[in-house]
Amino acid sequence: MNEKQYFYHIITFGCQMNKNDSARMESILKSMNLKPTAEPEDADIIIMNSCSVRETAERRVYGKSRIFAELKKKKPNLIVCVTGCMPGRDKDGKLEKRLHDVDLYFPTRDMVMLPKWLSEINPELRSIDLEDDYLTVVPRTKNKSQAFVTIQTGCNHFCTYCVVPHARGTEGNRSLKSILDEVKELVSKGCLEITLLGQIVNHYIAPDPEFFSSNNPYQKNDFAKLLWEINQMDGVERIHWTAPHPVYMDDEVIDALTLPKQINFIHLPVQSGNSEILKKMNRRHDRDFYVDVIKKIRAKKPEIAIGTDIIVGFSGETEEKFQDTVDLFRECDFDISYNAQYSQRSGTVAAKAFTDNIPKEEKKRRWFVLQHLMESIAYKKNQEYIRREVSVLVDTYKNGTCGGNSSEMKRVNFPGKEDYLGTIVPIRINRAAEWILWGDMV
pLDDT, one tens digit per residue, over 210-263 is 999 999 999 999 999 999 999 999 999 999 999 999 999 999 999 999 999 999
Q: Which CATH architecture describes the domain 136-383?
A: Alpha-Beta Horseshoe (3.80)
Residues 112, 136: Cα–Cα separation, whole Å: 10
Q: Which DSSP symbol is given to 271?
A: B
- Say what the pLDDT of residue 220 is: 96
pLDDT, one tens digit per residue, over 267-312 is 999 999 999 999 999 999 999 999 999 999 999 999 999 999 999 9
Read off the pLDDT of each residue in 69-81 and give the average, rounded to a whole number.
94
Q: Are strands 336-341 and 436-441 parallel, antiparallel or unpaired?
A: unpaired
- Say what the pLDDT of residue 305 is: 98
Q: Which of 154, 9, 412 is nearest to 404 (CA)?
A: 412
Q: Give the helix/strand (H/E) hosting 185.
A: helix 176-188
Residues 361, 366: Cα–Cα separation, whole Å: 9
User: What φ, ψ does residue 278 adopt, rounded to 5°?
Assistant: -60, -40
The letter for the amino acid at 50 is: S
Q: Which of 441, 423, 426 is nearest to 192 (CA)?
A: 423
Output the pTM of the full model. Answer: 0.82
CATH 3.40.50.11540 fits 389-441, yes or no: no
The number of beta carbons lying within 10 Å of the beta carbon of residue 317 is 24
CATH entry, 7-134, from 3.40.50.1820, 3.30.70.580, 3.60.20.30, 3.40.50.12160: 3.40.50.12160
Q: Are strands 389-398 and 401-406 parallel, antiparallel or unpaired?
A: antiparallel
Domain boundaries, given as residue ranges, for the chain: 7-134, 136-383, 389-441
- Say what the pLDDT of residue 134 is: 66
